[in-house]
Amino acid sequence: MSGQPMPCSPPEIGSLFLFEKLDPEQLARLCGEGRVELFPPGPVYAEGDPATCFYVMIEGTVVLSRRVGADDVEVNRTSQRGVYAGAMQAYLGDRVRQAYNNSMRVTEPTRFFVLPADSFAAIMHEWFPMATHLLEGLFFGSKNIQAAIGQRERLLALGSLSAGLTHELNNPAAAAVRATATLRERVAKMRRKLAIIAEGPFSREVLARLMELQERTAERVAKAPALSPLEATDREDALADWLDDQGVEHGWQLAPTFVQAGLDVDWLEQVAAAVGEEILPNAAGWLNYTVETELLMNEIEDSTTRISHLVDAAKQYSQLDRAPFRVVDVHELLDSTLLMLSGKIGPRIEVVKEYDRTLPEVPAYPAELNQVWTNLIDNAVSAINSAGGQGTLTVRTALDHERVLVEFRDTGPGIAPEIRGRIFDPFFTTKPVGEGTGLGLDISWRIVVNKHHGTLQVDSVPGDTRLQVLLPLTTETPEETA
């Protein structure tokens, strides 16, 4: 936007604190390459537009704002002469994207000294070469340090997740190994029992009925109902008594397995009718091995399915083989992160999911949102642990004025009012030494606000702390940097 051209006075320019040390020749050059413009109330430049000019206010009132989601949030309002804004990093040239990092408007007729970005860069390099090098070093050094520390924060989180994932994988893997060893033993006994039956004086028809009963028993295992402990005990007693009455030795040992498989007295009476009293004891032993084999295979299937589920969750969490920027269902991301952190959350913390499954998908960087969820869940768990280790973590999603809300609520001690304004500052942490870097919320804020144009806010009272992420449902082209 351009204002009304006005005369440029070197003495007036020299009265501004930014230029008060310049000599008359330098002030003359400024007036020669720059210009004075009078802007009416309204916008001067917009955030994200190419940074073409450096502005120094001579008189008036300026308001600077940053875009957060769909809103422009005011960050500064001043009438101080000499304040400056605009292309302040022009001296870095093409090494960084030259765009306005805020929006500026004026609330009354305001005069600016306006210097084109190219002229500003040339003057900085020519008049202040040492200062320019120092500023370049400070800028790029700060970015490198921030990136390195951010990477360390990611590695710390990855180490914690890896430990939790290893623990979660170890349980089903160990169960599968145990079940496999037991299955091998049961199959060997089944072969021996089959040999005993085959050597007996049994007709082909009886053996055929026994094989049919084996198949039907295996089918019943897959459909076994869930029983309460009291119901299971009653059924075990009834089965044990029936087996004893039929002359089956050690019936009390067979009864629990039969009950677990969903077999009852009626079923065993059908077996007795089909094979006869003489073969019933061997048939009962044979069917017991059949049931145990099916139950063990179910256990192996459950364990390996659990392992597969955990691996899928790890892939979902890390977003391997996925596009870095895409439209995603936030619930899938939340579920994978909660599963990855389940070992750290522990059994004493209840996790409540209050999901609005009707929410539309959002355009996002899913791997980085998972990092945000990790940081916020980790903080919530730490808060609950600091208050005794028992509490509730509630993860809620909802639609909030054309934005998706993801809220993490914990029942920890809360955030003291005097530090609430600092929790998003880099290196600020309330965790014990060695347990926190103070970068988790800073990184989360940059990912949500800078990269996704969303909002990250906190609301806290003792026993009820809520960190809320608001993500827009639409976005411009993906940002290249956070």
| Residue 101 DSSP SS3 | coil
Amino acid present at 119: S
* Residue 412 DSSP symbol: S
| Phi, psi for 242 (deg, rounded to 5) | -65, -45
Q: Residue 480's pLDDT is what?
A: 43
Nearest to 268 by CA among 294, 298, 288, 293: 288
* Residue 36 DSSP symbol: E
Nearest to 374 by CA among 325, 407, 341, 331: 341
The yes-or-no answer to whether 4-127 and 326-472 have a common fold is no
Q: How many helices (H) and strands (E) does the chain have?
A: 14, 16
Nearest to 310 by CA among 170, 159, 157, 179: 170
CA 141/CA 148 separation, integer angstroms: 10
Q: Residue 111's pLDDT is what?
A: 93
State the architecture of 4-127 in CATH terms: Sandwich (2.60)
**CA angle at 240 for the pair 236 and 243, rounded to the nearest 5°:** 140
Nearest to 438 by CA among 35, 60, 178, 156: 156
Q: Residue 120's pLDDT is what?
A: 86
CA 189/CA 291 separation, integer angstroms: 13
CA 138 to chain centre: 32
pTM over 0.85? The answer is: no
Task: Give the list of residues 6+ apart from residue 351 with CB closer than 8 angstroms, or none.
Answer: 338, 345, 392, 393, 394, 395
* Residue 16 DSSP symbol: S
Q: Residue 356's pLDDT is what?
A: 93
The partner residues of 166 in beta bridges, in order of sequence, read none
Q: From start to end of 322-401, where are the E strands? A: 326-328, 349-354, 362-364, 391-399
DSSP string, 413-462: S---HHHHTTTTSTT---SPTTT--S-HHHHHHIIIIIIT--EEEEEEET
Q: In what side-by-side order are the strands of the sheet with 464-472?
A: 349-354, 391-399, 403-410, 464-472, 455-461
Q: Where are the domains of the chain?
A: 4-127, 161-309, 326-472
- What homologous superfamily does CATH list for 326-472? Histidine kinase-like ATPase, C-terminal domain (3.30.565.10)
* Residue 137 DSSP symbol: H
CA 371/CA 365 separation, integer angstroms: 10
| Residue 222 DSSP SS3 | helix
Q: Residue 350's pLDDT is what?
A: 92
Could you list the mean pLDDT of each consecutive 10-residue stretch along the chain, which spans 482 residues?
A: 84 89 90 92 89 91 77 80 85 77 89 90 81 67 63 58 64 77 77 69 69 74 76 84 81 82 80 74 77 80 74 64 79 87 84 94 88 88 85 93 92 77 58 50 83 87 91 66 40
